[in-house]
Amino acid sequence: MMLLAHAAHADSGGLAPYAVASVAAGYLLLAGRRRREARGWSTWRTAAFVSGSALLGIGLTPNVLPFPAGDFRQHMLQHLLIGMLAPLGLVLGAPVTLILRSVPSRQGRIIGRVLRSRPVHVVANPITTLMLSVGGMVVLYVTPLYVATTANPGLHHVVHLHFLSAGYLFAWVIAGPDPAPRRPSVPARLVVLGVAIAIHAILAQLMYAGLYVRIPVPAAQLRGGAELMYYGGDIAELLLAFALVRTWRPRRTTSPSTVASRPAPSARRVAR
């Protein structure tokens, strides 16, 4: 994850895609070794991580996107790829679990202690990740921050780094297969995801109408970017919801009629 974060901070037209490709190659190497073991390694997880890496590499290479440089729609498509779609694939690849299965037990215990540490508890709280992901997006578009990123390449890369990190944390806490400290119940996480979807949709609609946002671009670009945010965000969030629901195992409850129909312990002993 840290290497991917550094890749997002690198030059979008230079080393970033190669850094992402290197991380993906490292994952494939470890996954190949685990597949030769009795427990194996899920092909679906490998496919998810490789897909996420590919989407991240495309997002960090704006020249391959179907919009010219400086077009707000290009920015929004990068945001969707780097901050929403790529993190989901990376998280579903369970890279932490793969690392834990690949390193010596001593190093694995160190990783476990880090995951149980207080800072990780704070960062892994669903409310914290909601504020970092959706809140950061609101701050970007309703304050002068977006204009500042267009004039400052370094700040532009920092925003990409934030999108990637916040998107990864949100997807990990909501539906990640990797261990997370004190992860709430599935219904509670669905509520948090629902709040994120609502805020995302409201911001996209305000952007389409040109209300309360500070994005000085032509109206056609602004509306196009808002449509990308609205529909592309829906796709990413529905995929995240599907991944979350797949992990839901509702607790079975025993109805009174079932209890009444069971033979008493003494009866069962007699039947034996």
Reading the block at residue 91, the tokens are 């998280």
Reading the block at residue 163, the tokens are 């999108």
Q: How far is CA 18 from CA 46, 105, 158, in A?
A: 19, 31, 19
Residue 86: per-residue pLDDT: 97
Split at pLDDT 50, 70, 90, the class of 113 is very high
Split at pLDDT 50, 70, 90, the class of 43 is very high
pLDDT, greater one: 110 or 260: 110
Residues 6+ positions from 36 with CB-CB distance below 8 Å: none
Residue 243: per-residue pLDDT: 92
Min mean pLDDT across 15-24, 47-56, 245-254 is at 245-254
* Domain extents in the chain: 2-247
Residue 158: per-residue pLDDT: 93
Split at pLDDT 50, 70, 90, the class of 5 is very low
Rounded Cα–Cα distance for residues 17 and 4 (Å): 10
Residue 252: per-residue pLDDT: 56
* Average pLDDT of the segment spanning 230-241: 94
Q: What burial class does residue 118 get, using C-beta atoms within 10 Å of its C-beta: 0-12 exposed, 13-18 middle, 19+ buried? A: exposed
pLDDT tens, residue by residue, 135-150: 999 999 999 999 999 9
For residue 12, pLDDT over 60 is answered with no
Q: How far from each other are the two terminal CA atoms of the chain, in whole angstroms?
A: 58
Report whether 46 contacts 20 (CB < 8 A): no
Rounded Cα–Cα distance for residues 51 and 107 (Å): 28
Rounded Cα–Cα distance for residues 8 and 230 (Å): 24
Neighbours of 171 (CB within 10 A): 27
* Average pLDDT of the segment spanning 199-220: 96
Split at pLDDT 50, 70, 90, the class of 15 is confident
* Average pLDDT of the segment spanning 194-213: 96
Rounded Cα–Cα distance for residues 229 and 210 (Å): 14
Split at pLDDT 50, 70, 90, the class of 270 is very low
For residue 259, pLDDT over 70 is answered with no
Residue 249: per-residue pLDDT: 63
Split at pLDDT 50, 70, 90, the class of 8 is very low
Percent of the chain with pLDDT over 70: 86
Residue 68 φ then ψ, to 5° = -70, 160
Q: Give me the chain's average pLDDT, please.
A: 87
* Average pLDDT of the segment spanning 15-33: 92
* Average pLDDT of the segment spanning 77-81: 95
* Average pLDDT of the segment spanning 208-230: 96
Q: Three-state SS string across the chain, please?
A: CHHHHHHHHCCCCCCHHHHHHHHHHHHHHHHHHHHCCCCCCCHHHHHHHHHHHHHHHHHCCHHHCCCCCCCHHHHHHHHHHHHHHHHHHHHHCCHHHHHHHHCCHHHHHHHHHHHCCHHHHHHCCHHHHHHHHHHHHHHHHHCCHHHHHHHCHHHHHHHHHHHHHHHHHHHHHHHCCCCCCCCCCHHHHHHHHHHHHHHHHHHHHHHHHCCCCCCCCCHHHHHHHHHHHHHHHHHHHHHHHHHHHHCCCCCCCCCHHHHHHCCCHHHHHHHC
Rounded Cα–Cα distance for residues 243 and 172 (Å): 11
Residue 265: per-residue pLDDT: 47
